[in-house]
């Protein structure tokens, strides 16, 4: 058991956490006010996930999310976070079309976005890109298992690594991204036993989502944790609040108050000084009289 890092949290701080047996706390964030709250709550890493696509922007999945959208949200999160390590997710096709373009896109997150690291999905086939980003001094977080950008390849959001061969494949992916130089790796949607084996085998921290309790850290999508995401949420989500209900009820009450004329009240309104009001009224009367005469 350990407390929050004082910050600003760095990539080496995260690596040291595994060496010290301290769990890593990561959440997604997409805007400045949420980042500010999570920063003050002692979260270690804020991931500007491409889940912004389905969680915030109303897309069906993460595939339509663009570099410009990701940079925009990364800048907002960085403005809100003074302590957390901000990691920006590289969106679909931003690191698939050649090394030079991948490095340029990752560099945008650091230069324009203010992120201190990027995340890329995929295992062995991403090793070359990861090496190139490391050559460009960009810290990289890996992501293996149920990688959402592979949704069509997987035929849906399906748990990966359930058979012997599939489990070996996920393990090899994790080993490959470690070897390529990632500082941590997200394990998503894999059996807890497989995540435990990978966590034991890797020197770098593993951060689980739907991957059981043995990972070196855990990440959730903030809207799922707060109970804002529409049901059904995945079974691995624990809702720590029901803000969805709270937000809806607050807005129903606002609507009722507006319709009843009870909002805004006197103390929720600005007022003119009486002498200014008198002067205004007198002016209006003079204007009306002139207008009436002509």
**Nearest to ligand KIV of 127, 209 (CB atom):** 209
Smallest distance, Å, CB 47 to ligand KIV? 6
Smallest distance, Å, CB 117 to ligand KIV? 13
Contact 195, 144 (CB under 8 A): no
**Nearest to ligand KIV of 196, 215 (CB atom):** 215
- Among left, alpha and beta (phi > 0; psi -120 to 50; other), residue 104 is alpha
**Nearest to ligand KIV of 47, 182 (CB atom):** 47
**Nearest to ligand KIV of 39, 89 (CB atom):** 89
Give the other-Cβ count within 10 Å of 182's Cβ. Answer: 28
Smallest distance, Å, CB 276 to ligand KIV? 53
CA distances to 6, 38, 238 from 246, in Å? 32, 19, 17
Contact 165, 144 (CB under 8 A): no
What DSSP string describes 211-226?
S-TTSSEEEE-HHHHT
**Inter-axis angle of helices 164-180 and 192-201, to 10 degrees?**
30
Is 188 assigned a catalytic role? yes
**Nearest to ligand KIV of 47, 117 (CB atom):** 47
Contact 183, 173 (CB under 8 A): no
Which residue's CB atom is positioned nearest to ligand KIV?
A: 49
Smallest distance, Å, CB 55 to ligand KIV? 7
DSSP letter (8 states) at residue 126: G
Smallest distance, Å, CB 149 to ligand KIV? 9
Smallest distance, Å, CB 167 to ligand KIV? 20
**Nearest to ligand KIV of 14, 270 (CB atom):** 14
Using the CB atoms, write b or e for 33-69: b if 16+ within 10 Å. ebbbebbeeebbbbbbbbbbbbbbeebebbbebebeb
On the CB side of 173, how many CA atoms lie within 13 Å of its CA? 28
Cα 76 to Cα 74: distance, rounded to the nearest angstrom: 5
Which residue in 135, 188, 193, 200 is the catalytic one? 188
| Binding site residues, ligand KIV, CB under 6 A | 28, 47, 49-51, 89, 143, 186, 188, 209, 219, 221
- Name the residues annotated as catalytic: 188
């Amino acid at each position: 058991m350990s407390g929050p890092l004082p910050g600003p949290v760095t990539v080496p701080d995260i690596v040291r956490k595994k060496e010290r047996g301290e769990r890593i706390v990561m959440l997604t964030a997409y805007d400045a006010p949420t980042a500010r709250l999570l920063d003050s709550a002692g979260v270690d890493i804020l991931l500007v996930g491409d889940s912004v696509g389905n969680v915030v922007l109303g897309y069906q999945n993460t595939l339509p999310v663009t570099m410009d959208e990701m940079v925009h949200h990364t800048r907002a999160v960085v403005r809100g976070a003074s302590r957390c390590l901000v990691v920006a997710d590289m969106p679909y096709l931003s690191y698939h079309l050649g090394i030079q373009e991948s490095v340029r896109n990752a560099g945008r997150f650091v230069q324009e976005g203010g992120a201190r690291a990027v995340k890329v999905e995929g295992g062995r086939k991403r090793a070359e890109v990861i090496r190139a980003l490391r050559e460009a001094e960009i810290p990289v977080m890996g992501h293996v298992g149920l990688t959402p950008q592979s949704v069509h390849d997987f035929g849906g959001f399906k748990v990966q690594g359930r058979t012997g061969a599939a489990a070996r494949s996920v393990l090899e992916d994790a080993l490959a991204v470690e070897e390529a130089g990632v500082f941590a790796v997200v394990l998503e949607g894999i059996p807890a036993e497989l995540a435990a084996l990978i966590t034991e085998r890797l020197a770098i921290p593993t951060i689980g989502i739907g991957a059981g309790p043995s990972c070196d850290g855990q990440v959730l999508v903030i809207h799922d944790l707060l109970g804002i995401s529409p049901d059904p949420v995945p079974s691995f989500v624990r809702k720590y609040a029901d803000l969805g209900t709270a937000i809806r009820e607050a807005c129903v009450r606002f609507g009722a108050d507006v319709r009843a004329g009870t909002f805004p009240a006197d103390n929720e309104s600005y007022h003119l000084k009486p002498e200014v009001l008198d002067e205004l009224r007198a002016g209006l009367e003079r204007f009306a009289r002139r207008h009436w005469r002509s």
